Structure 1
Amino acid sequence: MDQATAADLVIAGIGGAAGGTYHHVNLEGVSRIGGPVRARTFKGNGLMRLGGSLTVDEMETNGDLKVGGGLQMGTMKHDGLLEMDGGLRGENCTLSGVIGIKGDCELRNFTVEGSLTISGFLSAEHVELALQGQTRVKKIGVKSLVVRKAGSGVWSKLAGGVIPKLRAELQTSVIDGDFIDLEYTTADVVRGAIVIIGEGCSIGRVEYREGLTVHPGATVGMEVKTGE
């Protein structure tokens, strides 16, 4: 069924539906969808549970969302809790809150404020992370990456305040990119053309092609300038 000719799915209050192909999906309240969903637009507020994957052109949600599979989208904005049993693929993605993704992420632009866990690889052109809690990513490959410690806010209290030991920090094994600007990051290896190692970083080995700056408050085990 073509998305343009499919019916809309609207749930208000407490309700459920089967998976399928829809034109517009609008969820308000407590919603449960039993299987994979394809839609042109997906909007929701509240508690949302999807029993399978989600494929959507445009998506904007707030609240507590769990996707029982992978998520593929054109543009996405989510504020709240997000848990995914699969990977995340798409163009432009903005997330705020506490996010857990069990698969790989392949994106063009990725902006996150809060606490993020990615069990697989993060591959993107441009990534901006504003840390409000402990963030873990297996490996990162990007054109540009900027990592900052965000100011205190509601998600900072949820992610870091409830469990004080989980301080705002990015933990990963390898970061590979062109422009890399880090704060509060722990990594085994960082490779890039221009690399800035800022405050609160602990890096085992830095390989840079064009330029390297290291903050006095950072620790770098080894610095290596590679090919011209």
Structure 2
Amino acid sequence: MKNGMKGNLILNGYGSSNGGHFNEVKLNGRGIVNGDLECVLFECNGSGTVKGDLKIDRGKISGSGKIKGGVNGNDFTIEGHGSVSEGVSLVNKMNISGSGKIGGSLRADEIKIKGKATIATDCETESFQTEGQFAIGGLLSADHIDVKLYGESSALEIGGQTIKIKGKKRGFFHLFKPFFPAKLTADVIEGDELELESTNAKIVRGKNVTIGPECEIDLVEYKESIHLDDAAKVREFRKI
């Protein structure tokens, strides 16, 4: 990032600038960067826009910032209602607090969601933790998946070593359960150690499988053990 670096870029209000290489970039208000942007630190406070790809060491959107391209870097955080038009690929962490929208795939070592995340295609990580909602248009793949549901979530397929899906059973959302159902929907869920609640799936396949309350599963395949809650609906299960 040092080659061609221009120092810092700070845009306040309705300012605009061309892209390029910078040390720190701060968009305060409705600042616009026209073109690809590369910097060590990126902050967007308000409704700023980068009309191109963003390459960063660390980046953060606070508000309703938009990246009209992809994001590559180390750590990236969305707080508020940030969006990225293309994919996000990170070496380290992705944090979403509020509402984040990714127009392509999301790849990071660690992903944490508190709120709502929409990912157009695949999501790949070592650790996936969420308290809220997510919609993943492709495969959710992670070594460890820990989900606490606060509303409807979905993925085409889910795969991992340990997968825990827990339904929200108390607090504010519990009072409005008929209007805000805590439910995860997927075609296929596959892993080693599975503990599922409030899940609708066509196929669940694992080594040790626990199907908890409010689950509706067409087929469960297990290698070593299976535990079915009395409130779970499983049409068929078999040892493989």
TM-score (ref. length: structure 1): 0.90
Q: Is the 8 A contact 1:3 1:22 kept in 2?
A: no
Residues 33 and 50 in structure 1, CA contact (< 8 A), matched pair in contact too: yes
Matching residue of 1:102: 120
Number of equivalent positions: 221
Residue in 2 that maps onto 1:129: 147
CA displacement at 1:2 relative to structure 2: 4.8
Deviations 1:61-82 (A, max 9, x none): 3100110000111211110111
Greater alpha carbon shift after TM alignment, 164-173 vs 137-146 = 164-173
Whichever of the two has the greater Rg, that structure is 2
Contact residue 78 and residue 100 of structure 2 kept, 8 A: no
Runs of 4 or more off by more than 6 Å in structure 1? none
Unmatched tracts of structure 1, length 5 or more: none
Alignment TM-score, normalising by the size of structure 2: 0.86
Distance 1:115 1:192 in 2: 24
Q: 1:117 to 1:29 in 2, by over 3 A?
A: same
Amino acid of the structure 1 residue aligned with 2:107: R
Using the aligned pairs only, state the percent identity: 27
Structure 1 distance, partners of 2:50, 2:33, is 5
> Cα distance 1:175–1:206, how it changes in 2: closer, same or farther (>3 A)?
same
**Residue of 181, 187, 203 corresponding to 1:173:** 187
Give, in angstroms, the shift of residue 177 of structure 1: 0.3
Output the aligned Cα RMSD: 2.1
In structure 2, the residue matched to 1:92 is 110
Contact 1:115 1:135 in 2 (8 A): yes
Within 5 Å, which residues of 2 pair with 1:56-205?
A: 56-73=73-90, 74-150=92-168, 151-152=170-171, 165-205=179-219
- Once residues 89 and 158 of structure 2 are traced to their aligned partners in structure 1, the CA distance between those partners, rounded to angstroms, is 19
Matched-pair contact (CA < 8 Å) for 2:217–2:233 = yes
What residue is the counterpart of 2:50 in the other structure? 33
Secondary structure of 1:178 counterpart: strand
Consecutive unaligned residues of structure 2, counting only runs of 5 or more, are 6-20
Answer 1 or 2: higher relative contact order, Cα 8 Å, separation at least 6: 1
